[in-house]
Amino acid sequence: MQINKNNIKKIILPSIIIIFIFIVIFQIVLTNQYNSINQIYNKNLEQIIGTIKEKYPNLNDKDIIDILQNNNNQKEGKDVFQKYGYTENMQYIKTLDEQIKANIKINIAIVALLGICIICISLYYISNQNKEINEINSYLKKVNNGNYKLNIEQNDDDELSKLRNELYKTTILLREAAENSKKENKNLSNALENISHQLKTPITSVRIMIDNLYENPEMDEKTREDFLKTISKQIDWISSLVISLLKLAKFDSGTITMNDDIVDVEKLIGGAIENLSILLDIKNIEVITDVQPDLEFKLDYNWQLEALTNIIKNSIEHSKENSKIDIKVENSSVMLKIIIKDYGEGISKKDVNHIFQRFYKAENAANDSIGIGLALAKTIIEKDNGCISVTSKKGEGTTFTIKYLK
């Protein structure tokens, strides 16, 4: 098992320090004990020499020292001890014997104290570990009960602190997921309400006209034809709404995968303009393009064609008759930029920040507007590694800027 550096700091390092301190203390104690024993030994030796000189005054000092330093007569000395009743287990110098016994007790006490200190450090560490584990366990119980607002993040580097931080990160993810889930449920509820509201009017209108056709078989041909045209128009409107919603639902579910087509940008913009040729002719609007020839870029052609079509269609709807729309393409080393500018009625300040929201209808929106075209365009562009922004001034026109990152 890999030992964490912080564990070394918390257990092993303090233990090493304590052991080192005790070794120093033990060395000092042993040195003092040695000096004490040496003093007792020298004191008794001095008494022996004094007694010898007193009883044997003719014996000179040199002879006495020679006797003391002569280590070859141990057997004879032992025989003398035994002759007069002194055994091997009997200390001749009583004070020395007592000092040695006292030293043994002191040494045992020091070693015992060292062991107790190390045990206390270990118990302290284990106690802290258990306390942290219990805190984490309590934290998990609260998280399981839906409380994601707790903060147990720590800056330490041990395993439990790392576990705390990982749990904290997981809690943040769970909190975000819970908030997103609530937001999605709210959005879904709002979307269903909007869809219901959007469909309610045309379906009611169609039902009334069908009832009239059914109940009035003698209805004049012109009125009947007008009813049928209106019914057809309402059905087309409902169909368009359903198709747009299905497309958004596919993007929301993540089932759409963008293709990396090598797209001729001039052809892409030309295709979007061609899709709207009838609307352009009706309002006599001229589209002026500024596109570099043979400019190619990696995009999903079909989806981006739909996005551009929706944006240009919005510009046409809010442009005046006999006006123009400018489309300019800028290419750099980091991005492809498409700028679509109309000179129409513009968007009010209160609406400009909401025009990409689903089912949002600005104050100057057409009566038959679904309020989903720009939202779908934004979703498509962002899915293909792009972004879209809008600037507008009331009465002067609107500019959409699309950026595709390389």
247-274 per-position pLDDT tens digit: 887 887 778 888 888 999 999 999 999 9
The structure tokens listed for 124 are: 């302290």
Asked if residue 167 and residue 102 are part of one domain, the reply reads no
pLDDT for residue 88 is more than 60 = no
pLDDT tens digits, one per residue of 121-160: 777 777 777 777 777 777 777 766 766 565 655 555 566 6
pLDDT at 355: 87
Asked if residue 17 and residue 101 are part of one domain, the reply reads yes
Q: For residue 330, is it within any domain?
A: yes
Asked if residue 77 and residue 30 are part of one domain, the reply reads yes
Per-residue pLDDT band at 280 (split at 50, 70, 90)? very high
Contact status, residue 374 vs residue 306, Cβ threshold 8 Å: no
Per-residue pLDDT band at 330 (split at 50, 70, 90)? very high
Least confident of 76-90, 155-169, 307-321: 76-90
pLDDT for residue 387 is more than 90 = yes
What's the whole-number mean pLDDT along residues 312-325?
A: 92
The structure tokens listed for 168 are: 């904290």
Asked if residue 322 and residue 206 are part of one domain, the reply reads no
Least confident of 181-185, 212-216, 287-291, 378-382: 181-185
Beta strands in 210-294 (DSSP E): 261-264, 286-290
pLDDT at 7: 55
Q: For residue 244, is it within any domain?
A: yes
What's the whole-number mean pLDDT along residues 224-242?
A: 85
Which residues, in sequence order, are bridge partners of residue 399? 341, 391
pLDDT tens digits, one per residue of 170-213: 777 777 777 777 776 776 676 667 677 767 778 888 888 888 88
Beta strands in 46-111 (DSSP E): none
Q: Which secondary-structure segment (H or E) carries 98?
A: helix 94-144
Q: CA angle, 107 as apex, 104 and 113 as ends, to 5°?
A: 140
Asked if residue 244 and residue 274 are part of one domain, the reply reads no
In this structure, what are the phi and psi dihedrals at residue 190, rounded to the nearest 5 degrees?
Answer: -65, -40
Q: Nearest 10 degrees: CA dihedral of 139, 143, 145, 150? A: 80
Asked if residue 381 and residue 332 are part of one domain, the reply reads yes
Asked if residue 401 and residue 269 are part of one domain, the reply reads yes
List the domain range (segments joined by +) for residue 355.
261-405
Asked if residue 246 and residue 121 are part of one domain, the reply reads no
